[in-house]
Amino acid sequence: MNNQTKDLIQFGLLGVIALTVIYGTFIKSDPIPSRNPAMSSAQQQQPQQRQISDNQNPLQPSPDARNPMNPQQAQQPQQPPKPKGPPTQLSWEKMAHDFGKIKQESTHNKVFTFTNTGDNPLIIESAQGSCGCTVPEYPREPIPPGGTGEIKVEYKPGQQKGRQSKTVTIQANTNPPQTTLTITAEVEETT
């Protein structure tokens, strides 16, 4: 390799380094993530990725990028979506159930019954189990004032064993907007 080729390679590498420094210092819109003691070091070291649409210049900040120099644009905590419809009240027949002693790889069902005791129709946005072993079903249509409904919960412990406690979180137009139902069981190992 002659000296001229080596000089061109060095010049090219210096150019790439200079562009990287300029991009990282002046153009990049994402602030440096602060150290969060709750995050593992592996999570903190992972680079943040940003989706770039086909018509967006990757060197220009996205319209929703926060300016790290503007303290008024501090990150707000993520709030759950506000439920649809005016608020109403719910009354539960029972909010917890203990299946007692059950076997692994079995299926158990519980129906939680509620009444809309408010003045507005009840709209359930979602019902979500705390793990894949707890699957809820909920009414998709509004429940009128005075009407009743059911949340059906199916629990399959699989290979879990010992004392288990699972939850189902319901998001609805109630105050507060989230309600938590609990199921428990003592899962015995099958022989």
Q: pLDDT per residue over 70-89, tens digit each?
A: 444 445 555 555 667 789 99
Q: pLDDT per residue over 120-157, tens digit each?
A: 999 999 999 999 999 999 999 999 999 999 999 999 99
Please tell me the predicted confidence (pLDDT) of residue 180: 97
Domain of residue 110: give its range.
90-188
Q: Identify the CATH number of the domain in which residue 162 sits.
A: 2.60.40.10
Structural domain includes residue 68? no
Structural domain includes residue 170? yes
Structural domain includes residue 66? no
Whole-number CA gyration radius for the chain: 27
Please tell me the predicted confidence (pLDDT) of residue 91: 94
Total structural domains within the chain: 1
Provide the mean pLDDT of the chain. 78
Residue 116's φ and ψ, nearest 5 degrees, are -80, 105
Structural domain includes residue 37? no
* Higher pLDDT pick, 154 / 47: 154
Which of 96, 129, 94, 86 is closest to 114 using CA atoms?
Answer: 94
Structural domain includes residue 1? no
Beta-bridged to residue 35, according to DSSP, are: none
**At residue 31, does pLDDT exceed 80?**
no
